[in-house]
Structure 1
Amino acid sequence: MTEPTSSPQHPVVLAITGASGAVYSARLLHALLNTGTIVHCTISQSGAAVVRQELGITLNLDGSNVAELLTAAERFLQIPSNDPWNNATALQAIRDRQLLCHHYQDYFTPIASGSFLTSGMVVCPCSGSTLSGIAHAASQNLIQRAAEVHLKENRKLIVVPRETPLSVLQLENMHRLAQAGVVVLPAAPGWYHGATRLQDLVDFVVARILDQLGIANQQIQRWAAEG
């Protein structure tokens, strides 16, 4: 794992697809923006449908109203106004153009090219169809194309599946990706960090993603040996 830094040197790509767990992507976007990371975001049609079902908002596929994703997640998690990871910094980052959004069918964007440098890409949550498309290099949209770019350029690629139980084919796809160097990071929160709120469980997964990107964070209380 890369040694954590305050923010990566290059942008991070965040793709939101049609698996349950939209709150994970919202909280991850929130954390990335709060650390000063430049984010290129793209949302699939199915991803937007899941956001609407789980968080109660309708996102435009061009990302023009992505700020609503942050406020909806804050309401969903019942985050208090005095929380250190409040929305103010993240919303200001959106206004400052720290966040750039791309339509999931638009291949004429920087993230579709290997010449555009990034510090990594996260597919969160990652649907089974997206997992399969990436595993078999059968890109059907910008999300899968960007993932393919990260694979061929040997850059960090993290997929966050949220599915149970898993079929043999899904397990084979994960194995195939892991063999290719992809970090398969299921949205499976731990409980050892003193979780008492839904926010704690979501932030556990977000913290593990940030760790893999090499971004220093204090999303959770970490395990430490006593004495």
Structure 2
Amino acid sequence: MNRQRLVVGISGASGFIYGVRLLELLARLDIETHLVISRAALLTMAHETGYKLADVIALASHYHRADDVAAGIASGSFRCLGMVVAPCSMRTLAEIATGTSAGLIGRAADVTLKERRTLVLMARETPLTLAHLRNMTAVTEMGGIIAPPVPAFYARPQSLAQMVDHSLGRVLDLFGLDAGTALRWGEPDLHSLKSKTCGSEPVRDEAATASIGIG
């Protein structure tokens, strides 16, 4: 394996742009990406963005259908850094927490956990029910990381794109990857980086993404 690999799942929670932007940042870092998009996520894509499926697939190194449980990423022998589900719906969270995988996203996450690799779930829901919280606890106890996309206001974000980039930068930190988009508290370049975040690769359709919820 010459390039580092990361599995990216996009499930049906609000925040489709997190998955899209993550693919862009990973391509910048020359990380080989293996993408899975749930059927529900395709509905979210149509409601929240101006993207077409072909546009998103083109951002990934490899694309796997959500029902293709025979894909390489469904096996523990597939070597990679781990997996990110961005965003992670409560249904997908429940599947992962209980090990009842109905599709490739859940199966790939299960494999990531059993192989003791890094699994990050950008859980996107509010308010949270007791079932949600218990499922998050179960995933955490198995070694997964729950990382909701919470904006950092100390960075004084000027746009939704900057909020998205900062959240994804912190997720990539969990894999030891630095895309240069996380504005770090107490570091001298905090304010100089603000103007650069998303500068070279802006979110494609600001109007389409303006309604995306972050909290």
- Select 1:161's aligned residue among 112, 120, 123: 123
Tell me if the contact between 1:17 and 1:123 (Cα under 8 Å) persists in the aligned partners: yes
The Cα shift of 1:9 comes to 5.2
Alignment of 1:89-168 (within 5 A): 94=59, 99-168=61-130
What is the CA–CA distance in structure 1 between the aligned matches of 2:159 and 2:69, rounded to whole Å?
40
- For residue 21 of structure 1, what is the aligned residue in structure 2? 15
What is the CA–CA distance in structure 2 between the aligned matches of 1:47 and 1:222, rounded to whole Å?
31
The amino acid of 1:191's aligned partner reads: F
Structure 2 unmatched runs, 5+:
189-215
What is the CA–CA distance in structure 1 between the aligned matches of 2:151 and 2:99, rounded to whole Å?
29
- For residue 47 of structure 1, what is the aligned residue in structure 2? 41
Tell me if the contact between 2:170 and 2:182 (Cα under 8 Å) persists in the aligned partners: no
Tell me if the contact between 1:104 and 1:141 (Cα under 8 Å) persists in the aligned partners: yes
Q: Deviations over 1:127-178 (max 9, x none)?
A: 1110000000001001100000001100000000111100000000001111
- For residue 5 of structure 2, what is the aligned residue in structure 1? 11
The Cα shift of 1:194 comes to 2.5
What is the CA–CA distance in structure 2 between the aligned matches of 1:191 and 1:200, rounded to whole Å?
11
TM-score scaled by length of structure 1: 0.78
Structure 2 counterpart SS, 1:213: coil
The Cα shift of 1:225 comes to 5.7
The answer to whether 1:30 aligns with 2:24 is: yes
- Select 1:203's aligned residue among 143, 165, 175: 165
Tell me if the contact between 1:9 and 1:119 (Cα under 8 Å) persists in the aligned partners: no
Structure 2 counterpart SS, 1:121: strand
- For residue 142 of structure 2, what is the aligned residue in structure 1? 180
What is the CA–CA distance in structure 2 between the aligned matches of 1:112 and 1:40, rounded to whole Å?
11
Structure 1 counterpart SS, 2:19: helix
What is the CA–CA distance in structure 2 between the aligned matches of 1:221 and 1:187, rounded to whole Å?
14
Structure 2 counterpart SS, 1:108: coil
Q: Which has the higher contact order (CA 8 A, sep 6+)?
A: 1
The amino acid of 2:45's aligned partner reads: V
User: RMSD of the TM alignment (CA)?
Assistant: 1.7
The amino acid of 1:162's aligned partner reads: R
Structure 1 unmatched runs, 5+:
1-7, 60-64, 71-90
The amino acid of 1:10's aligned partner reads: Q
Gap change, CA 1:49 and 1:211, over 3 Å in 2: same
The Cα shift of 1:200 comes to 1.1
The Cα shift of 1:124 comes to 0.6
The Cα shift of 1:109 comes to 1.1
Structure 1 counterpart SS, 2:174: helix
Tell me if the contact between 1:193 and 1:220 (Cα under 8 Å) persists in the aligned partners: no
Gap change, CA 1:149 and 1:29, over 3 Å in 2: same
